[in-house]
């Protein structure tokens, strides 16, 4: 299982699973459903994320307006207290979840995620263990070519991709098989850039 960056709002639909990631090209952090709502995550050289821990994976459900979603991780949702107008605390709550509006940031594959509507509080990086919901001070570290710091809010959204389908036909095989009695066995190893792990095919046969 692997995830790759969404490139447009059309990639984000209800009922699919996603990762919410911030990166400056050197350090990579993802929003997760635990006490510390942020944690470092491994990004491959091709910018894909392979086999993420389940706590990083969010499933979307649609809000009533275009480009609005709820994010749920099993029993927890991404939540900011509606009644506390000054708090920046973003939690993964087992009983409550907030509605989030997603907009595409220009010149990058990144997005801005804001509460309820386009002008609401935005989700941003605070430190290595924390994402927060800020009302002001949004900073796009990608267009400014800066490292991550508090209020960096240009987020990558990663979508789940199915593995590649392998299809091949073989008319003949030219190899020397190992002989065990009257049976023959030969293994062929298959690997590829988007395979999570290599696959082995074993061909067996017997004397006619």
pTM of the model: 0.80
Question: Dihedrals φ, ψ of 170, to 5°?
Answer: -125, 125
Taking residues 162-176, report their average pLDDT.
Answer: 55
Separation between Cα atoms, residue 2 and residue 38, nearest integer Å? 20
Spell out the residues 6+ positions from residue 38 whose beta carbon is closer than 8 angstroms to its own: 29, 30, 31, 32, 125, 126, 127, 128, 129, 130, 131
**Is residue 161 scored above 90 in pLDDT?**
yes
Q: How far is CA 82 from the centre of its chain?
A: 27
**DSSP code of residue 15:** T
At 5-36, the pLDDT tens digits run: 999 999 999 999 999 999 999 999 999 998 88
pLDDT at 159 over 90: yes
- pLDDT, residue 164, reads 58
Q: What is the pLDDT of residue 32?
A: 95
What 8-state DSSP symbol labels residue 133? E
Mean pLDDT score across all residues of the chain: 86
pLDDT in tens, 100-154: 999 999 988 999 999 999 999 999 999 999 999 999 999 999 999 889 999 999 9
DSSP structure class, residue 143: T
Contacts of 59 (CB under 8 A, 6+ apart): 15, 16, 17, 18, 71, 72, 73
Nearest of 160, 129, 192 to residue 48 by alpha carbon: 160
pLDDT of residue 136: 94
Predicted confidence (pLDDT) at residue 168 exceeds the cutoff of 70: no
């Amino acid at each position: 299982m692997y995830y790759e960056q969404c490139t447009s709002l059309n990639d984000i639909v209800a009922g699919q699973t996603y990762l919410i990631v911030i990166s400056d090209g050197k350090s990579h952090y993802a929003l997760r459903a635990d006490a510390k709502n942020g944690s470092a995550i491994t990004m491959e050289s091709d910018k894909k994320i392979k086999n993420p821990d389940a706590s990083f994976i969010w499933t979307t459900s649609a809000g009533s307006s275009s480009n609005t979603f709820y994010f749920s991780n099993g029993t927890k949702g991404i939540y900011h207290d509606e009644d506390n107008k000054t708090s920046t605390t973003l939690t993964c709550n087992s009983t409550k979840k907030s509605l989030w509006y997603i907009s595409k940031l220009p010149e990058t594959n990144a997005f801005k995620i804001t509460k309820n509507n386009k002008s609401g509080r935005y989700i941003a990086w605070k430190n290595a263990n924390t994402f927060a919901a800020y009302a002001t001070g949004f900073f796009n570290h990608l267009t400014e070519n800066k490292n991550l710091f508090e209020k960096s809010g240009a987020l990558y959204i990663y979508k789940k991709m199915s593995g590649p389908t392998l299809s091949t036909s073989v008319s003949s095989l030219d190899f020397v098989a190992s002989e065990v009695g009257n049976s023959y066995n030969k293994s062929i190893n298959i690997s590829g850039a988007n395979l999570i792990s290599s696959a082995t095919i074993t061909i067996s046969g017997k004397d006619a």
